[in-house]
Chains A and B, each alone.
Chain A
Amino acid sequence: MKKNSTYYLLMVLFLMLNGTLMAQQINIQGKVTAAEDPEGLPGVSIVAEGTGTGTVSDINGNFSINVPNENTVLVFSYIGYASQSITVGTQQTLNVVMESEAKGLDEFIVTAFGISQEKKSLGYAAQNIDAEAITKVKQPNLVSSLQGQAAGVQITNSGGAPGQSARIIIRGINSLDPGANNQPLFVVDGVPVDNSTIESTGTPRGLSNRMADLNPNDVASISVLKGAAATALYGVRAANGAVIVTTKKGKAGEVRVNYNGSVGFETLNQLPKLQDKYGQGFSGEYQPSSFWPSWGAPIAEVQQTVSDHKYQDNWNRAFNTGVQIDNNISISGGNEMATFYGSFGNLQQEGIIPFSNWNRTTAKFSGTVKVSDKFNFSGSVNYSNSGGNRVPHDRFMERMMYWSETTDVRDYINEDGTMRTYSNTNPIYDARFATYEDDVNRVIGNINLNYIPADWLSFSYRLGTDFYSDQRTEITPGPKGIVGEVPLSSTGYLEETRINSRDLTSNFYITLKKQFTSDLNASLRLGNDIFERKYDRVTARGENFVIPEFYNLGVASQIFTSQGKSIKRIVGFYGDLMVDYKNYLFLNVTGRNDISSTLPKDNNSFFYSSFNLGYVFSENMVLPSWLTFGKLRASYAQVGKDTDAHILGSTYVSPSIFPLNGQVGFTRNSVYGDLSLRPEQTNAIEFGLQTAFLNNRANFDVTYYKSNAKDQIIPVPVSDATGFSSYITNAGEIQNSGFEFILGGTPIKSNDFSWNISANLSINNNEIKAIKEGIDEIVVGSQYGYAGSTVTMKLLEGEAYGNIFGSSYERLGTDPDNIFLDRSLPIIIGTNGFPVRTGTQLILGNAVPKWIGGIRNDFTYKDFELSFLIDFRTGLEQYNQYANFLSAFGKNEFTEAREDFRVFEGVLADGSTNTKEVWLGQGEGPDGVDYGAGYWRNYYRTTSENFVSDASYIKLRNITLGYNLNPDLLERTPFRTARVSIAANNIILYTPWDGFDPESFSAGAGGNAIGFTGLGYPGVQSFFFNLNLGL
């Protein structure tokens, strides 16, 4: 039924356009140039107003167009330039000089399938970030470079490791599935590409999200399509929004060479507050081989008898100064027939944890060829090789916890290569020898063919591929066979992982343009889109090497292997109708039908549509002169969503432990995929107001959105007694709504000095409207805490995504029905004088920020530029696993009070105020009472509420001071342009959080359990020196 209605709609739309066309009479020819460059400006759109005819300037800026009569108005428009309307008159030749526009690229925006669209005409919010804003922040990872720069877009760096993944969420989390990918689709030059993060098995090592393979220096602009309306045309894969990346292209004219290079240095940006008074041992007693790093005697006291006993400042000394060297060179040029762009880039990065590093080498080539006025083609290839040594940061930091504060952590190796230790594992030795290297080779390529048989008709075809191989080698050495050694592993192992992934996309579309009356223009695009992803992973692990330190699977005593394959295909048909009336009312209707291989055959075809309306009231009514521009937007959109490959029905799995004794065991897979699964659907509405004041000196944009993802395809946890643990079916609904504000302007503009500012702010509200009947909760993840302080992120109906549950102190007057911890109530103190803990799991906080935002300021004075970017987030709490561990081992600054008495604030069970004084230390106190392991180990570390705290921050994300070499000076050099700059990232961090940078979290970009810091790779601050030269 649905299938049929789709085709009818497409047919009807098609027939509407199938009219006769007007005859053309006058031929106008000419050349378009840019004001700052006498070379021709290619690609300028030239439309004869009210006729539906149009053309594009060629590689030299030349154009030719037929117009009906002398009164025809030609509209010239091009990204970054002010549009011009010129009445033809009697002239046959028209030379036009385009003036660049202050608002730059903002006026045009790249939307679906790489089509550049006038922002004015959009009925939905979309935001553009230009090349300069991307490269200025000096983030090797393209995702990180968006941080703070777009409203409603939340970027979180999962840590400070070289190459480590960054997570991007647009307008909140849209799925109840703990394993869902909630990140937007990335599209490079019209080709959707893979941005998955495949974490290491075993201990976290902070791997890359695949967009990190792309060199930010090759990017010309990024537009962020936020809502369902913006992404309706990309189909199922863009249900969480889309990030459209356009890479740099060559321009006709002289060959140009650009070089930019930078050297950067990184250091730890924040440490928790630590104590330096007590050393190794337990119960206040010094013990040189004790497991306990800092519950011992006062260091000063021991020093009197043990002269080399001192606080080693290991937490500062363990980390290196990271180094980052980035070199990029590009060459571009072309003539009227062809243009090209080529680049080569190399980035080398050493992290602050010793032996962590990551390198990326990229090469890009793109070209366009114009065969004739009717046919042109273009293509590009991006090659990258990336990878490095991923240190086990979680284990490194855990071993730092255990490491004696009075033993030098840097003195880690003996002459024979074994570990030097008093008994615990040295973190640096482990980081050096327990290696995990990845080596990714990736090619993203596309070919575009355009055939334009007539002004009103064009055919376009694009074939894109994204192929990568990811080779990973993990080695943990076993014993060397040296007497007395402390090996990292009793067996030693080598694990080889080979991942191959290939995406293919094919996209064919026809564009039809028609003018109905002089006021009414329409264009229609009809297309077919095919996607395929093939993925294959093979893992082989060898243990117990017959020859120590000879790592080859062939000489392992035990071999374990596993394999995972998948294939997914989607075929989509779409139509996109754009109508504009008098250039102030814009209507856009889209419809798309997808057929996905992942859904049951009866339900695998689904249709969805979107309607967007843009009303530029400033062109339709008389407004006060200070109001330069005003537009209202409204949209309603649906997006369908399929599921993962190969999840339907019931299967059997062979647990990885087999074969044992030559037998392969099987068990019924505990996941059952509903055989009548339907596509999931998101309905979204959006309203917005866009305004500009005082001749574009200031602008303001506000958007309200609400999206409801219904019929979610989620793994519903079911009773194990059913024979399955998880039932993948349509269940549940999640709602996100919020406001986005963008404020920008140019407060000062004079010949020598200008100041630009742009700020964004957004608030998101999330509510889980429904799960499945009879199912109370969905567990997203949990993180370990000592002695009952483990926390869990759970989804509950009626509550927001991201609630963190854990243990707390008992409080007087607690409402037993309240699932939230009420911290305002008085804590109950037990008869022993210590707070009473309860294991009842209450909501201690929520890990999804309520408010996020950023402010960017750019100042220029003569040849100098100063810019800075501040971003912030607030209204969120996180679980601080570091604090939990630090308190268990007596390392927090506040544990210096261990020889003090304290009366805990609170009330006894009968409501009377607690007055009992207790000692905080270990063992027998001065009062003769045995306090066992002491307050922090017996009480503090066992209670989750001590570790779930406000993780808001304000960061000076980037500050850059640049100098552009004066043209007078440049004349004496071979260079066309030259610029030097210095930059610093994250040098100011303001946060109530006591710990490392609160931004780091342990799940990696691919995970949804975001509220847990784990023992993540600590955040860094960095300083850069940059040089740009142009020939």
Chain B
Amino acid sequence: MKAIYTILCLMLFLVLSSCENFLDVNENPNNPQDAPISGLMTNATYETSLNVYAIGSITSNYVQYLASPNPASASDVMEASNYSGLWFDLYNVMTDLTDLMQKAEEEDAGHYLGAGQILMALNLGMTVDAFGDVPYTEGFDFSSVTPTYDDDEALYSEVFSLLDQGIQNLSGTTSISLGGDDFIFNGDVSSWIKFGNMLKARFMLHTKGTTTYDPQAILTALASGMTSNDDDATVIFFEQRFNPWAQVAINNESLLLGGWISTQFIETMDGTSYDVVDPRMSLMIGATDDGEYIGVTNGAGRGNAPEQGARSTLIPDQFYTYEDSPLLIATYAEQKFIEAEVALEGDPERAYAAYLEGIEAHMDMLEVNEEDKMAYLNSPEVSMGASALSLADIMKEKWVALFLHPETWNDARRFDYGYKDMTLPENLNGNLNGQYIRRLAYPDNEVSRNGSNVPDVTLLDRIWWDE
């Protein structure tokens, strides 16, 4: 009996002492504990472009580039939809950028730090423009499970500060250089600096209606901004992953309906609202089976029109919808329209020149032939002369040049949706009391997970720069 007892105890002991190693197998074999800084940059540049697409796909119905084929669709009639996915995407990129910036600082990779700060500013700025007050200072590091919200105006200061620091860091030294891991500029640091300045101008322009507006500062930033279409910030899409707008067009062909063009867009382009046919129309959108351009009125739906061939939609293999089309984050054309708007008060000549340059830059992007381009630029509806140039003219051409881009919704809100012939969608969300939407609702996920911090707002409550 004693022997057995001893053997038992010994066995127990042996098993116990070897347990430690035996059980030490929990390190994750699939996901590394750390990621290379270049891998973070690759994903951040890629996902940032997709965030621009994601917001653009929401706001394109608000600004009436697109219209839903179904009546009273939530996006057309400006209902409070649940954009939990978008919210995740924005914070996911900002989280990765937080890690990237921290690593860049540790590794003295100044250029990574700078590019990271610019991307952070862009994503944060887009988030604020869509939602207003959002979490930031308590965010990203899990210091709080329910992070509090920062004031949107204060976050704008952070955006500008990040852009300034970014530009400065990109101008300095770096231990590691950006390269093919940077999907936007392929490691071209001077393009990053121009991009940073252009974004500064973009976000400063948003503040036009506020006391902090400083036109001179914008013009100063623009002086260091983009100088041609070659400087455009874009991500060119891939064989393995098509441009998301191309995917919309492909899906629509296979009856997953989307990318239907709004009547507002067609009437702006086809000579209805303006006395000129825009040669870009046929390069941007598809015609019906009969070769006509017919839109859908926002909120009305397609009525009895069939799924295919009777209305204009995005179609594959146009400038915006090639499988490997660039996804536009910020363009020289946009910069020119920023310049035109800022210069309009005080220097109409400069404004007019920038306005024409903006149109031309967009036409060149679409490869409009010279003859059509000149015909359009020379039409009296377009070349009204410096003295006759109005904000509405600039906004109209910027609206065309920023087709599908989310920045147009910022313009639209500043411009009180004052585009020519633009009317409220049919079946407008009753809660809007006959007005246009001014912000996105906080997503359901955020409300259910961080409800006590989420501000109580309606879709009519404006972002600070829109008040």
Contact = CB atoms under 8 A, between A and B. Distances in A.
B71 A560 contact: no
B461 interface: no
Given A664-B39, A668-B95, A646 B26 contact: yes
Contacts of A282: 304, 306
Contacts of B46: 660, 665
B139 A723 contact: yes
Contact of B147 (A571, A595, A722, A923): A722
B12 to A, nearest CB: 8
Sorted nearest first, the 10 A-B pairs with minimum C-beta distance are A665-B43, A666-B35, A666-B39, A721-B135, A651-B31, A652-B35, A665-B42, A719-B450, A720-B91, A646-B28
8 contacts: A565-B29, A652-B33, A663-B42, A717-B449, A718-B449, A719-B145, A721-B134, A723-B95
A563 interface: yes
A990 B306 CA distance: 41
Interface in A971-1030: none
Interface string A585-597: 0000000000111
Nearest to B148: A721
B154 interface: no
B267 to A, nearest CB: 23
A290 interface: yes
B92 interface: yes
B24 interface: yes
A558 interface: yes
B25 A597 contact: yes
Interface string B121-153: 000000000000011101111101111000000
Contact of B23 (A457, A565, A604, A666): A604
Given A646-B30, A660-B241, A663-B181, 17 more contacts: A7-B12, A597-B23, A601-B24, A652-B33, A652-B34, A667-B43, A668-B35, A668-B99, A719-B135, A721-B136, A721-B450, A722-B139, A722-B144, A722-B145, A723-B91, A922-B304, A932-B301
Contacts of B96: 666-668
A722 B451 contact: no
B31 A290 contact: no
B92 A670 contact: yes
Interface in A709-735: 717-725, 727
A655 interface: yes
A651 B28 contact: yes
Nearest to A775: B449
Interface of A: 7, 14, 18, 282-283, 290-291, 457, 490, 510, 526, 528, 557-558, 560, 563-569, 571, 573, 595-598, 601, 604, 645-646, 648-655, 657-658, 660-670, 672, 717-725, 727, 774-777, 787-788, 839, 922-923, 932-933, 938
Contacts of A563: 30
Interface string B1-42: 100110010011001000100111111111111111011101
Interface of B: 1, 4-5, 8, 11-12, 15, 19, 22-36, 38-40, 42-43, 46-47, 70-71, 74, 79, 87-88, 91-92, 95-96, 98-99, 134-136, 138-142, 144-147, 180-181, 183, 238-241, 250, 255, 301, 303-304, 306-307, 445-452
B32 A652 contact: yes
B140 to A, nearest CB: 4
Nearest to A536: B29
Given A569-B25, A571-B15, A722 B142 contact: yes
A897 B70 CA distance: 23
Nearest to B186: A661
B321 to A, nearest CB: 15
Contacts of B304: 282-283, 922-923, 932
B140 A723 contact: yes
Nearest to A726: B449
Contact of A775 (B12, B25, B448): B448
B78 to A, nearest CB: 14
B140 A722 contact: yes
Nearest to A402: B255
Contact of A649 (B22, B33, B95, B239): B33
A718 B87 contact: no
A291 B306 contact: yes
A665 B42 CA distance: 5
Question: Which of A457, A648, A661, A932 has most chain B Cβ within 10 Å?
Answer: A661
Nearest to B27: A646
Contacts of B140: 721-723
A598 B26 contact: yes
Nearest to A597: B23
B147 A719 contact: yes
A645 B27 CA distance: 9
Nearest to B304: A283
Nearest to B96: A667
Nearest to B255: A291
B97 to A, nearest CB: 10
A672 B141 CA distance: 11
B241 A721 contact: no
A720 B87 contact: yes
Contacts of A922: 304
Contacts of B451: 774, 776
Contact of A719 (B23, B146, B183, B239): B146
Contact of B26 (A597, A663, A666, A774): A597
B240 A672 contact: no
B240 A660 contact: yes
A651 B448 CA distance: 25
Contacts of A601: 24
B88 A725 contact: yes
A667 B39 CA distance: 8
A888 to B, nearest CB: 11
Nearest to B9: A11
A18 B5 contact: yes
A660 B239 CA distance: 9
B5 A721 contact: no
A291 B308 CA distance: 10
A291 to B, nearest CB: 6
Nearest to A17: B1
A564 B31 CA distance: 9
B238 A661 contact: yes
Given A652-B34, A722-B147, A560 B240 contact: yes
Given A645-B26, A661-B180, A719-B449, A666 B146 contact: no
B393 to A, nearest CB: 38
A777 B303 CA distance: 39
A725 B87 CA distance: 11
Contact of B39 (A648, A665, A775): A665
A571 B23 contact: yes
A633 B25 CA distance: 42
Question: Which of A291, A560, A566, A652 has most chain B Cβ within 10 Å?
Answer: A652
Given A18-B5, A923-B304, A567 B42 contact: no
Contacts of A457: 4
Contacts of A651: 28, 31-33
Contacts of B134: 721
A571 B22 contact: yes
B38 A596 contact: no
A510 B135 contact: no
A717 B27 CA distance: 23
Nearest to B451: A776
A665 B15 CA distance: 43
Question: Which of B87, B136, B240, B255 has most chain A Cβ within 10 Å?
Answer: B240
B29 A567 contact: yes
A723 B96 CA distance: 8
B22 A569 contact: yes
Contact of B450 (A14, A665, A774): A774
B15 A566 contact: no
B180 A662 contact: yes
B22 to A, nearest CB: 6
Question: Which of A283, A665, A668 has most chain B Cβ within 10 Å?
Answer: A665
B33 to A, nearest CB: 6
Nearest to A924: B304
Question: Which of A18, A291, A653, A720 has most chain B Cβ within 10 Å?
Answer: A720
